[in-house]
Amino acid sequence: MDTAAIPHPPHRLPLLGDVVGLSPRRPVQSSLRLVRDLGPISVRRVLGTDIVTVGGADLAAEVDDDRRFAKHVGLGLRPLRLVVGDALFTAEDGEPNWRLAHDILRPAFTREAMRGYHATMLDVARELLASWDAAARAGAEVDVAADMTRLTMETIGRTGFGHRFGSFEHDRPHPFVTAMTRVLRFAQLSVSPTLVSVRRLLAGSARRNRADMDLMNRLVDDVIDARRRGETPDRDDLLGLMLRTAHPGTGRTLDPVNIRRQVITFMVAGHETTSGALSFALYHLTRHPEALARAQAEVDALWGQGDDPVPAFTDIPRLRYVRAVLDEALRLWPTAPGYFRAAREDTVLGGRYRLERGDWVVVMLPLLHRDPAVWPDPERFDPDRFAPGAARRRPAHAYRPFGTGQRACIGRQFALHEAVMALGLVLHRYHPVPDPGYDLRITETLTLKPEGFRLTLTRRVPAERSRDRVDAAEEAAR
Ligand code: HEM
């Protein structure tokens, strides 16, 4: 792609390129700082590779078009590709296993399927509440991102594969989570273009990386074998579908190595992003007491004064403001911060930038979600941007936290059902009190999460619930 006409950051260095200000530990945030003032499209050159970033809604609408562009397994996804190959998330568009797995697994993500997961999601959310109750009694802080990761890991393990990690039974993360985090970090550093010296340093941990991979594969194989041998109940969950279903058109089935890779993919894709979304949502609510009060009024109105509501499946879509809080949290800090798109044929973007077939760009979501042409006062946290009907007044491609087209997130409904219920229950039960000295820091692995964000929780009492409800109703009437 000829990038000469595309704006790039100042201070381009010979050979190295646009690396001044780039941080290997926080590539997304440091890239954002470099390109945010350059307009809807920009380019960074890093060691000879041109990284073209799209951050404007009009250009995003073009690259989101599945007829002109396809998913590209680019820089950010290569680490995961090293680990899980052509599984659903990391398959290139044309790879046969993508269509096969997509069609086999689709029934596991319908609204009806969510109904089947609801009770398990609720059980796990209750385990989070029990653990936070204990912290509240002891006056101890909770580490929000760590506990949300327990919640989402446990949820995908139980609903997807019938496996209990026992995440809330131990103080330390499950060994699978520790191994997975290290494997992804290792893969990330080993594909990073700037880090030859770090790669050398990493060679020392190659053995540990192999041990981590073995641990993950063993656990997954044990879960699969137990199901095959009938030692665990047969169910229509993700694993059941993969083991039993043939493709309706071709009759092909997924081979055992691919099933293992899909399980690991779902473990990774199915928990980090949702956990980050919940953590950011709580962070924003603690900074915006008026939004917190409205969200609490909404759950109180639905679930009443009692301490232990039992949410029905149909309650969850009724929590519209809680959902708007999550939507807005994902606008400001989309936990999967971007996606890569490659031209299917030679094409011209925005009427002036020529791309040859195979040339790729990255849609950087924190930029797209702040496009000033679409989002007034873009840095302000305002869940009302997602009030009923508001989305219809915006261009469709201005908000894409779950990706786009046929490669958009298959787990979107799953994530939202799980997250709205968990956040609703937390808000119904506690006053979340942040450390007043906390400034948002964001940690980057494959995804974004608030770092070091802790809360002290106090239990709400029934009388407060009705008072909140009246206050919010009064406020709404004013
Ligand atoms: C808030 C939570 C989530 C966010 C923000 C999110 C975001 C995304 C995004 C942006 C993509 C597209 C990536 C690309 O084009 O390269 C994607 C794909 C995917 N997501 Fe999610 N995701 C979330 C939750 C989940 C959950 C809970 C699951 C599984 C239960 C899941 C499974 C997947 C899979 C398998 C794909 C690949 C789909 C395909 O290419 O066919 N995600 N997700």
74-94 residue pLDDT tens: 887 887 898 899 999 999 988
Question: How does residue 248 score in pLDDT terms, banded at 50, 70 and 90?
Answer: confident
Q: Could you tell me which residues come within 8 angstroms of residue 118 by beta carbon, excluding any fewer than 6 positions away? A: 313, 316, 417, 421
CA of 417 from ligand 1 middle (Å) equals: 14
Question: How does residue 475 score in pLDDT terms, banded at 50, 70 and 90?
Answer: low
Which of 32-46, 107-121, 194-208, 344-358 comes out lowest in average pLDDT? Answer: 194-208
Q: Could you read off the pLDDT of 34-59 as tens digits, one per residue?
A: 888 999 999 999 888 899 999 999 99
Question: How does residue 477 score in pLDDT terms, banded at 50, 70 and 90?
Answer: very low
* pLDDT number for residue 474: 53
Ligand 1 site residues (CB inside 6 A) read: 71, 77, 88-89, 102, 156, 265-266, 269-270, 273-274, 277, 330, 335-336, 339, 401-403, 407, 409-411, 414-415
- Give the phi and the psi of residue 383 in degrees, each rounded to 5: -60, -20
Average pLDDT over residues 226-255: 92
Nearest of 433, 461, 425, 417 to residue 129 by alpha carbon:
425
Which amino acid would we find at residue 236? D
Which of 27-31, 312-316, 371-375 comes out lowest in average pLDDT? Answer: 27-31
| Rounded percentage of the chain residues whose pLDDT exceeds 70 | 95
- Give the phi and the psi of residue 362 in degrees, each rounded to 5: -115, 130
| CA geometry: angle 431, 432, 433, nearest 5 deg | 110
**pLDDT for 22 beyond 50:** yes
* pLDDT number for residue 122: 98
d(CA 75, CA 251): 34
Question: How does residue 391 score in pLDDT terms, banded at 50, 70 and 90?
Answer: confident
Domains with residue ranges and CATH for the chain? 27-477 (1.10.630.10)
Question: How does residue 183 score in pLDDT terms, banded at 50, 70 and 90?
Answer: confident
Nearest of 454, 404, 427 to residue 325 by alpha carbon:
427
Q: Could you read off the pLDDT of 427-450 as tens digits, one per residue?
A: 999 999 999 999 999 998 889 999
Q: Which residue has the higher pLDDT, 294 or 234?
A: 294
Mutate to test the pocket of ligand 1, among 105, 280, 409, 445 (most ligand atoms within 8 A of CB): 409
The two structure tokens encoding residue 102: 């997509």
How many CB atoms lie under 10 A from the CB of residue 236?
13
CA of 265 from ligand 1 middle (Å) equals: 10
Ligand 1 atom nearest the C-alpha of 73 is: 16
CA of 198 from ligand 1 middle (Å) equals: 29
Nearest of 279, 277, 263 to residue 156 by alpha carbon:
263
Query: DSSP label at 455?
Result: E
Which amino acid would we find at residue 84? V
* pLDDT number for residue 469: 56
Q: Could you tell me which residues come within 8 angstroms of residue 227 by beta carbon, excluding any fewer than 6 positions away? A: 161, 162, 234, 239, 240, 243
Q: Provide the β-strand partners of residue 54.
A: 41, 363
Ligand 1 atom nearest the C-alpha of 408 is: 12
Would strands 448-450 and 360-364 be described as parallel, antiparallel, or unpaired?
Answer: unpaired
Question: How does residue 184 score in pLDDT terms, banded at 50, 70 and 90?
Answer: confident
Query: DSSP label at 246?
Result: P
d(CA 371, CA 204): 43
Question: Any catalytic annotation for residue 314?
Answer: no
Check the annotation: does 9 bind a ligand. Answer: no
Average pLDDT over residues 162-182: 90
Q: Provide the β-strand partners of residue 143.
A: 454
Nearest of 323, 307, 327 to residue 315 by alpha carbon:
323
Cα distances from 164 to residues 213, 228, 253, 272, in angstroms, run 20, 17, 26, 17
Q: Which of 120, 409, 414, 447 is catalytic?
A: 409
Question: How does residue 350 score in pLDDT terms, banded at 50, 70 and 90?
Answer: very high
Average pLDDT over residues 247-272: 92
Average pLDDT over residues 192-221: 77
| 71 SS3 class | strand
Question: Any catalytic annotation for residue 273?
Answer: yes
Average pLDDT over residues 309-333: 98
Name the most confidently modeled range: 124-133, 175-184, 204-213, 383-392: 124-133
Q: Tell me the ipTM for this assembly.
A: 0.99
Are residues 195 and 24 in contact, defined by beta-carbon separation less than 8 angstroms? yes
Question: Any catalytic annotation for residue 402?
Answer: yes
How many CB atoms lie under 10 A from the CB of residue 401?
22
Q: Mean pLDDT in the chain?
A: 91
Ligand 1 atom nearest the C-alpha of 404 is: 15
Ligand 1 atom nearest the C-alpha of 276 is: 1
Are residues 8 and 39 in contact, defined by beta-carbon separation less than 8 angstroms? no
| Rounded percentage of the chain residues whose pLDDT exceeds 90 | 75
| 462 SS3 class | helix
Q: Taken in order 350, 356, 357, 362, is the CA torsion positive or negative?
A: negative
